[in-house]
Chain A
Amino acid sequence: AQTVTQSQPEMSVQEAETVTLSCTYDTSESNYYLFWYKQPPSRQMILVIRQEAYKQQNATENRFSVNFQKAAKSFSLKISDSQLGDTAMYFCALSTGANNLFFGTGTRLTVIP
């Protein structure tokens, strides 16, 4: 069975500061993908960043980067230079095949002006 755990229900950060959201997962599969999705108040799920498990290099997308620790099954998201538009729910998700995407329960991030 696959599980995704986000242990921080809520977090806040000052504008322009850096924040890290935590995610741990469990799977017995050797090939899998990890994702961070953002859900702003509009409620549309927006892809933030993706990581293939076989790649050792951490993924980066502009101000967003991940710290992928495969042995520890940890996949944290770092947001640098936080902006007001980053305020949203952030979901960590795991995919082990074409038919599934397992989500964590989310972390609500508030960027404070």
Chain B
Amino acid sequence: DGGITQSPKYLFRKEGQNVTLSCEQNLNHDAMYWYRQDPGQGLRLIYYSQIVNDFQKGDIAEGYSVSREKKESFPLTVTSAQKNPTAFYLCASSIIVLWGQSTDTQYFGPGTRLTVL
């Protein structure tokens, strides 16, 4: 089955802890994205990556970090610097039709619900 997997489905964090959310895709997509969803709001972009070993900040990158060591994987670390991390996190991927100039449909994983205790 081709698709995007995220783990864990639910994650609990204590104050001051860093936690890492996993995102893996076997669609051979070039680009990967992390979004945050809060109640009553749409999705907001945290980070994105178009190629291995390169990534860019989105609209709300503060308190988060990412890595892209493999094309298939794009883990997100929520650091202790993130003041309000309780949210639903969605990972997505897409092909890139023309490098940096075009887009294609983003496909989403099932999400991770992060709760700070």
Contact = CB atoms under 8 A, between A and B. Distances in A.
Given A33-B103, A35-B105, A105 B110 contact: no
A112 interface: no
Contacts of B43: 45, 91, 101, 103
A12 to B, nearest CB: 18
Interface residues on chain A, size class:
20 to 34
Given A98-B31, A98-B100, A98-B103, A44 B108 contact: yes
Contact of B111 (A37, A43, A50, A104): A43
A35 to B, nearest CB: 7
Interface in A27-65: 33, 35, 37, 42-47, 50
Interface string B55-91: 0101000000000000000000000000000001010
Interface of A: 4, 33, 35, 37, 42-47, 50, 91, 93, 95, 97-101, 103-106
Interface of B: 31, 33, 40-45, 48, 50, 56, 58, 88, 90, 92, 94, 96, 100-103, 105-111, 113
